[in-house]
Amino acid sequence: MPVYEYVCRSCDAASDRILPHSEADDPGPCPACEGELRRRFSRVAVKYTSWGFNATDGLVGDRPSRGSYREVAERAERISEGDA
């Protein structure tokens, strides 16, 4: 389940809640003053390690000279492990 960050409209207290996506818009009252919470949007860290992302985009070409799928997959694995 995702962790959502909220800030109280009354006292500016921040709090985190682990809620299902369906309940993210109604987090309940502020734990400090019972005021209304509003959702804070913050940065998240994401690492894409599958096909179709920067590390692997250039590996699959439209020419057969780029190698077989197995060769491309092995090279992508080495790149993702930092052994380019």
- Please tell me whether residues 63 and 77 are part of one structural domain: yes
Report pLDDT for 46.
64
Q: What would the pLDDT profile of 66-81 be if each residue is shown by its tens digit? A: 566 677 778 777 877 7
pLDDT for 10 beyond 90: yes
- Please tell me whether residues 32 and 59 are part of one structural domain: no
Cα–Cα distance, 19 to 25 (Å, whole number) = 10
Our count of domains for the chain comes to 2
Question: Could you tell me the residue range of the domain that residue 54 belongs to?
Answer: 46-84
* Entry pTM: 0.50
- Please tell me whether residues 36 and 50 are part of one structural domain: no
Q: What would the pLDDT profile of 17-65 be if each residue is shown by its tens digit? A: 888 888 888 899 999 999 999 998 877 666 666 655 555 555 555 545 5
